[in-house]
Copies of this chain bind each other. A is one copy, B any other.
């Protein structure tokens, strides 16, 4: 299968982009292709890479907001999660994938439960994803054995799908929910299988203070001591860190996911971007219970504005830097060859509709994309060389909306 996107805006000039199989093969030549897309009045971009989310939590969107974190988790989110069934995760992930396709995300890093069902959803929807089972042993040996078994099984099942868009990953939840023994096992297993690890790090002040009080040691130092820090570790949030913590993360080339909307909505604290300039910082939306959407364009704006406001400097996190964070850095963090429109890269591609009020007059496209547009300006989404959305239409979207609505309502009343 080949696609030619002709007369499309790339950076500042019009050109042609030729995709064969799942690769951007040629830029600049009009090559005959199975499918030709007219790129007139469209700009070509790499797809957004969301490096931290819990996709199926789309089902909880708007179920509970404006509550204290503890009360929110204990009285709303956890009771609902206890009732989750595999089918819920399947439809929740389908809804999330649909939302991502419609708002220009082509790859996401996901941590949740019933991940084989999530994988089936991703398989059908055509996105690229790293899927990890959320490992939580609560320092209990018996539960740990079960979680190890579940993790191995999930990885094996996902591997057996032999879908090169879908990679299994390890998903230890956080230091306050996962034992040292488990973290050590996870790191070894990830090394053995050459998989990434997806982890929550220093998200809340309480997590940080409780740990220091209990262990008389900082979280990051502890993680270094147990040999958990690694270039294949994706650490989400990373708010409550000292300079020394950051140095350790640098030393081990840990990959960082900045999650501004969730951090703001849950009043978790503010990520310090300026101190992270030697690290690969990427962007994530977190789940829809705490965001409440998966729109990476909106996340770019909120993320840049938060830095400028909190650190009192209008020049921090400029548009072009933010755009790279949301695309190229995400691909770097997760370790796949995309994030740029360049020959040889994976064909994870967006076509943006330039005939939009929010992209007019268009003095600077990247500025307009970061500060003015949102995901609704995406016209076409291509992942791994396959067209998932054209002219904002996605196959089967009506059914997904209906089914997701139904499973969410059944879940609440169950």
Residues of A within 8 A of B (CB): 58-63, 65-69, 72, 95, 98-99, 102, 261, 263-267, 269-270, 288, 291-293, 295, 298, 301-302, 305-306, 308-315, 317-319, 355, 357-358, 360-365, 367-368, 371-374, 376, 397-398, 401, 404-405, 408-409, 412
Asked if B405 contacts A361 (CB within 8 A), the reply is yes
A76 → chain B, closest Cβ, in Å?
10
Q: Bound state CA distance, A397 and B357, in angstroms?
A: 9
Q: Is the interface of A mostly helix, strand, loop or mixed?
A: helix
Q: Give the chain B neighbours of A65 by CB distance below 8 A.
A: 318-319, 364, 367, 371
Known: A99-B357, A314-B67, A360-B95. A61 touches B368 (CB 8 A): yes
Contact call B266/A314, Cβ cutoff below 8 A = yes
* CB-defined contacts of A315 to chain B, threshold 8 Å: 66-68
In angstroms, Cα B267 to Cα A308, docked, is: 6
With A99-B357, A267-B308 already in contact, the answer to whether A374 and B318 are too (CB < 8 A) is: no
Which 6 A-B pairs give the minimum distances between C-beta atoms? Answer: A361-B408, A376-B376, A66-B318, A62-B367, A264-B309, A264-B305
A201 CB to closest chain B CB, in angstroms? 19
A302's contact among B95, B270, B302, B308, by CB below 8 Å, is which? B302
Complex Cα–Cα for A368 and B99 (A): 14
A263 to B309, CA, bound (A): 7
